[in-house]
Amino acid sequence: PSTELVRAVDRIMRTADGSRRMAVRANSDTEEDSARARRFGAQGIGLCRTEHMFLGDRRALVEALILADTDEERDRQLAELLPLQREDFAGIFDAMDGLPVTIRLLDPPLHEFLPDITELSVRVAVAEARGEAREGDLRLLQAVHKLHEQNPMLGLRGVRLGLVIPGLFEMQSRAILEAAAAHQRKGGVPRVEIMVPLVGAVQELEAIKEDIIAVARDVRSETGVHLEFLVGTMIELPRAALTAGQIAESAEFFSFGTNDLTQTTWGFSRDDVEAAFFSHYLEKGIFGVSPFESLDREGVGELVRIGAERGRAVRPGLKLGVCGEHGGDPDSVHFFNEVGLDYVSCSPFRVPVARLEAGRANGQSDSDSR
Ligand code: PEP
Ligand code: MG
């Protein structure tokens, strides 16, 4: 941003910071975005979506990992990914030195990383008709078929993928912890938070956390660096909000994912907000604004409130944030402050406005209990 813009942001933030309690972080997956977010006043990264690191040229690496048929092939793919991820995280730790960085383990809807099943079927059928079908193509089609889902957003995503592909979350955790250890050895201050996506039951988190802790033990003995880090979870399924008391036994922080929580609470597909019925609902006034844009306080908001209360009842110091789109929506920011969240996280460009709103909200509710 221009110097003038930076000064303007600074001015806004000074006003906003008067009586601030709730922090504003940014959602960012690259070193460049993280540096930009920091210039805009972000007080940390609230969500680094690691699946975004594999779009474009690197997509094929994840595809090969998902489709690996032997343990050896899978381990080879993981070994190839490890140094790439280490470098990704090193850049973000450099950009955010001293500020908290929440890195979320892989959460791709599977179809984004697999060949399109229709195209593949047509290609194989044409090849077969010409008598040119290759064994490899047939095997690929079978593998893709086996993984094909009617509802990928409700399918093999997030923690489920981590549980199904041995070594995947360990590889990512190792890359995070090795990058952080190197950063600390250079004199930096990495503040690492490893986040597990789409948890619906504490048992899922416990299994992954155990693996992360084992990796951390290895990294510590290999590097000699003692790192502090937190392991936490997204709360983005109604079941997670309702069982937040159990989940808080294992989670050191919660981040509410209001995008998926809106989808799963209403049963509306977040990918089809242009659906015909949706505009009909808006016209009929069933809701005034899309619940994906402005937080539905009675449903989704109530689940956030319940999750926060039940989580803190078990672990009083539980760190709470939100990283869905609503984290940057001014009206929703006031609600999150009221519920007692420690931070909201939004896209870098929305940080200045969110900080202004967080400052205002804190000013208005200083007497609220948390
Ligand atoms: C969410 O669901 O609110 C969230 C932040 O995760 P994602 O949008 O990546 O699913
Ligand atoms: Mg989500």
pLDDT one-digit tens code per residue, 78-89: 999 999 999 999
Q: Which ligand gives the minimal distance to the CA of 27?
A: 1
Best of 27, 47, 53 to mutate for ligand 1, by most ligand atoms within 8 A of CB?
47
Residue of the CA atom closest to atom 6 of ligand 1:
257
Highest-confidence segment of 111-115, 121-125, 186-190:
186-190
**Nearest-angstrom CA–CA distance, 360 and 366:** 10
Bigger pLDDT: 314 or 16? 314
What pLDDT score was predicted for residue 135?
A: 86
- State whether the beta carbon of 260 lies less than 6 angstroms from ligand 1: yes
What pLDDT score was predicted for residue 15?
A: 45
Helices 330-339, 351-364: inter-axial angle, 10-degree rounding: 50
**Nearest-angstrom CA–CA distance, 268 and 187:** 47
Percent of the chain scoring above 90 in pLDDT? 80
- State whether the beta carbon of 49 lies less than 6 angstroms from ligand 1: yes
**Nearest-angstrom CA–CA distance, 26 and 360:** 19
For residue 323, the ligand 1 atom closest to its alpha carbon is 5
What pLDDT score was predicted for residue 366?
A: 39
Is the Cβ–Cβ distance between 343 and 321 less than 8 Å?
Answer: yes
Return the residue matching tokens 């064994």.
Answer: 135
For residue 255, the ligand 1 atom closest to its alpha carbon is 5
- The number of angstroms, rounded, from the C-alpha of 12 to the middle of its chain's C-alpha atoms is 28
- State whether the beta carbon of 46 lies less than 6 angstroms from ligand 1: no
- Tell me what ipTM this predicted complex has: 0.99
- State whether the beta carbon of 258 lies less than 6 angstroms from ligand 1: yes
CA distances from 333 to 13, 35, 100, 295, 356 (A): 15, 23, 20, 9, 10
For residue 323, how far is its CA from the centre of ligand 1 (angstroms)? 7
What pLDDT score was predicted for residue 370?
A: 34
- What is the C-alpha end-to-end distance of the chain, expressed in Å? 36
For residue 309, how far is its CA from the centre of ligand 1 (angstroms)? 21
Bigger pLDDT: 16 or 229? 229
Return the residue matching tokens 């950063």.
Answer: 183
* Closest C-alpha to 37, from 269, 258, 358, 347: 347
Is the Cβ–Cβ distance between 351 and 329 less than 8 Å?
Answer: no
What pLDDT score was predicted for residue 272?
A: 85
Residue of the CA atom closest to atom 10 of ligand 1:
260
Return the residue matching tokens 């880090």.
Answer: 229
Work out the pLDDT band at 2, boundaries 50, 70, 90. low
User: Using one digit for the tens of pLDDT, what is the confidence trace for 339-350?
Assistant: 999 999 999 999
User: What count of residues does the chain have?
Assistant: 370
User: Using one digit for the tens of pLDDT, what is the confidence trace for 131-153?
Assistant: 988 888 899 999 999 999 999 99
- Per the prediction, the chain carries an average pLDDT of 92
For residue 259, the ligand 1 atom closest to its alpha carbon is 3
H-run or E-run covering 21: none
Judge whether residue 7 has pLDDT over 60: no
Residue of the CA atom closest to atom 9 of ligand 1:
49
What pLDDT score was predicted for residue 13?
A: 52
- State whether the beta carbon of 327 lies less than 6 angstroms from ligand 1: no
Judge whether residue 337 has pLDDT over 70: yes
3-state secondary structure (DSSP) of residue 301: helix
For residue 197, the ligand 1 atom closest to its alpha carbon is 6
**Nearest-angstrom CA–CA distance, 316 and 311:** 8
For residue 27, the ligand 1 atom closest to its alpha carbon is 5
Q: Which ligand gives the minimal distance to the CA of 326?
A: 1
Bigger pLDDT: 317 or 7? 317
pTM: 0.92
Is the Cβ–Cβ distance between 359 and 20 less than 8 Å?
Answer: yes
What pLDDT score was predicted for residue 242?
A: 98
For residue 325, how far is its CA from the centre of ligand 1 (angstroms)? 8
- State whether the beta carbon of 259 lies less than 6 angstroms from ligand 1: yes
- Give the CB-side neighbour count of residue 42, counting CA atoms within 13 A: 33
Highest-confidence segment of 123-132, 331-340, 360-369:
331-340
- State whether the beta carbon of 323 lies less than 6 angstroms from ligand 1: yes
For residue 256, the ligand 1 atom closest to its alpha carbon is 3
